Structure 1
Amino acid sequence: MRLHPDVITAETEDGTVLLHQRTGRYWQLNTTGTTVITGLTSGDSLDEIAHRMAERYGLPAEQARRDVEAVVRQLRTARLVEGAP
């Protein structure tokens, strides 16, 4: 999975800002969203990202997986990412 070619990022104290240059729309990701998008663009599987989130935040594995999947759905819907996870 990768960022859409028209999307650029900037890290902030609280996470990451994504700007879709073609539409002019931007999104603010918190640290959780940043962990997800960083993992996706690094080639990690959803299970690997969920495991990392579960350990970091003390979440049950099932909840972490649902949270990761929700972020991925939102990123896809906004056309910020493309490709298979």
Structure 2
Amino acid sequence: MSLRLRSDIATTSTEHGTVLLDERTGRYWQLNNTGSSVLHALLAGQSQERIAAGLAERHDLDPRQARSDVTAIIDRLRAAKLLVTS
């Protein structure tokens, strides 16, 4: 499953992560650095499993917790209709 941002979602990187703006509604979301790295890895085509493994290694997390965290981020972005399946 390949995910991408909707074409009308603008992004801006900040020192604290990434801000996403829905140009249709004017709503915006801010991702912290971890959420931002998850999003960028997804957009680069990495699998959820690979992203979670990287987080677990970098932050000394239980791999199950890392998978749960990555899934939660993706689920929230999809629920907000920011991410779509390509």
Question: Normalised by the size of structure 2, how large is the TM-score?
Answer: 0.94
Q: How far apart are residue 83 of structure 1 and its match?
A: 0.6
Aligned length: 84
Residue matched to 1:44: 46
Question: 2: CA distance between counterparts of 1:27 and 1:66?
Answer: 21
Question: 2: CA distance between counterparts of 1:12 and 1:27?
Answer: 12
The AA in structure 2 aligned to 1:9 is: T
Q: How far apart are residue 56 of structure 1 and its match?
A: 1.2
The AA in structure 1 aligned to 2:85 is: G
RMSD: 0.9
Structure 1 segments, 4+ long, off by >6 Å, are none
Provide the secondary structure at the position in 2 that maps to 1:11: strand
Q: What runs of 5+ residues in structure 2 fail to find an aligned partner?
A: none
Question: Normalised by the size of structure 1, how large is the TM-score?
Answer: 0.95
| Overall identity of the aligned pairs, in % | 50
Q: What runs of 5+ residues in structure 1 fail to find an aligned partner?
A: none
Question: 2: CA distance between counterparts of 1:28 and 1:51?
Answer: 23
